[in-house]
Amino acid sequence: MPKDISMQPTSHPLPSAYNSSRAAPWSLRAWPPLFWQARHSAGLQFRHLGTRVTVSDDRCIGTTGQTLWAGSAEDGEAGVAWDWVQVSRGIVAMADPMSVVTNLRLVGEHGEVLTALEAARFLNEIVHQLPWQPEVARALRGPMQ
């Protein structure tokens, strides 16, 4: 039976849309949508809100979890979250690069909202720019050791 080691809090203030460090990262689907020009997604400055670690008793599954990041823009708050998996000691990777959960609605050059497939490239660019692996490593070490 997997054991959930709840979100590891950070010292950053949480956006008003994120009320509790115990909330599931996927709750950001309830955040108001934020329309954002896809080519300017690098302009959002995200901060780490928390990382959830799930330890399984099944050695074949290993350690997994989710991480949640948020950024404020003039028009609202954006959040991104995704599953990660510990590949080996000290190495973590996105579990599925096509499954970044966000309230961002990325818009193309002509004002059209991008499909999930079209947006995946830009969402992965956001994830790639974030220092998320060190945050996951810190969560894996546990509370203040």
Q: What is the pLDDT of residues 80-105, one digit of tens each?
A: 999 999 998 889 999 999 999 999 99
When pLDDT is cut at 50, 70 and 90, the band that residue 29 belongs to is: confident
64-82, pLDDT tens digit by residue?
999 999 998 888 999 999 9
CATH number at residue 129: 3.10.450.610
Residue 61 has pLDDT above 90, yes or no: no
Number of domains comprising the chain: 1
* Residue-number span of the structural domain to which 42 is assigned: 3-14+21-141
* Pair 94, 87: CB distance under 8 Å: no
Residue 10 CA to residue 69 CA, distance in Å, equals 11
pLDDT at 9: 38
DSSP classification of residue 111: S
Average of pLDDT values for 108-126? 95
* Pair 8, 53: CB distance under 8 Å: yes
